[in-house]
Amino acid sequence: MSPTEPVYFVHISDTHFGPTRVYERHGFRPFPCAEALVAAINKLPQRPNFVVHTGDVATDPDPAAYRLAREVLGRLEAPVYYVTGNHDTAVSLKKYLPMGPKQDLSDDPNVLSYAFAVKGYRFVVLDMRGPDEIDPHGLLSPEQLTVARQEARPEGPPLTIFMHYPIQPLNSPWMDRNMLVVGGPELHRALLPARERLRGVFYGHVHRSMQTMRDGILYVAVPSTFAQFTAWPQDEVVVPDTAYPPAFNFVHLLPQQTIVHQHVIGRP
């Protein structure tokens, strides 16, 4: 039976906590931005069913950074789920950050891949973190491809996928050279059988709001919670966008459609 109730979730990404409250990156301090983020989410007029963080919780897998992340993100008044970013490790996320109820989809301690259900909707987290030598690219492993194929069958409940990296080209030279998943086209093909029930693929990494529709599948990137990048067709190198403020997305999953609202955070 198809769900009849909506599910609401908040999508955040790329908080980049450092080891101290005054740590700075790209000219901004992530810690006060994260505090403002949590306050804004907790004041939303519609309470989300959960919050999902699609990776780069910390800039380095430093225990001090993850403790600060737990201190701040632990104030969220909803269950929180995490995805492994290229700056994270699955081991660190599992060790330091509590998550909502879930079903693990991998026995590998170095992989964070799992599923959870809310009101009849199914949510799947894929771990595309590759070896350090290909960073900042992601990598589609045989194990995660198998998970995607098993999850993306034509029949089943409404399905939503979370990952850190984009798998579709973004028409920005530096992003397309550096940020995509190695094996992304194969992952897209694996998801195609579920396109009638796939409500969206949500990711971070690019520090930018982007939406891509391909073969009936919606791919949605969320801005960073503290600093953004430009992504113009002429951009050959990484350029911080100092005019674009921190933001998060509030996502409505309705029985027949997906709606994404972007909310800007006042920079502290």
Check: CB of residue 70 under 8 Å from CB of residue 93.
no
> Mean of the per-residue pLDDT values for the chain?
97
Q: What are phi and psi of 138, to 5 degrees?
A: -95, 175
Domains belonging to the chain, first-starting first, are 7-264 (3.60.21.10)
Q: What was the pLDDT predicted at 1?
A: 62
Q: What are phi and psi of 215, to 5 degrees?
A: 50, 35
At which residue do the structure tokens 């992304």 appear? 184
At which residue do the structure tokens 């030279």 appear? 173
Q: What was the pLDDT predicted at 189?
A: 98
- 132 pLDDT above the threshold of 70: yes
**Span 207-219, mean pLDDT?**
97
**Span 124-152, mean pLDDT?**
98
**Span 34-59, mean pLDDT?**
98
224: Cα within 13 Å, side-chain hemisphere: 29
Q: What was the pLDDT predicted at 104?
A: 98
Q: What was the pLDDT predicted at 2?
A: 76
Q: What was the pLDDT predicted at 4?
A: 86
The string over 65-87, giving b where at least 16 C-beta atoms fall within 10 Å of a residue's C-beta and e elsewhere, is: bbebbbebbeebebbbbbbbbbb
**Span 70-99, mean pLDDT?**
98
Strand order in the sheet with 7-12: 80-82, 50-53, 7-12, 247-254, 257-264
Q: How large a percentage of the chain has pLDDT more than 70?
A: 100
pTM for this one?
0.98
Task: Note the pLDDT tens digit of each residue in 3-36.
Answer: 889 999 999 999 999 999 999 999 999 999 999 9
At which residue do the structure tokens 């993306």 appear? 152
Check: CB of residue 88 under 8 Å from CB of residue 66.
no
Structure confidence at residue 90 as a pLDDT band (50, 70, 90)? very high
Q: What was the pLDDT predicted at 188?
A: 98
Per-residue tokens: 181 = 């998943």
Q: How large a percentage of the chain has pLDDT more than 90?
A: 95
**Span 95-119, mean pLDDT?**
98
Task: Note the pLDDT tens digit of each residue in 247-258.
Answer: 999 999 998 899
Q: What was the pLDDT predicted at 268?
A: 87
CA distance 208 to 226: 11
Structure confidence at residue 266 as a pLDDT band (50, 70, 90)? confident
Task: Note the pLDDT tens digit of each residue in 221-247.
Answer: 999 999 999 999 999 999 999 889 999
Q: What's the burial of 98, exposed, middle or buried (CB within 10 Å: 0-12/13-18/19+)?
A: exposed
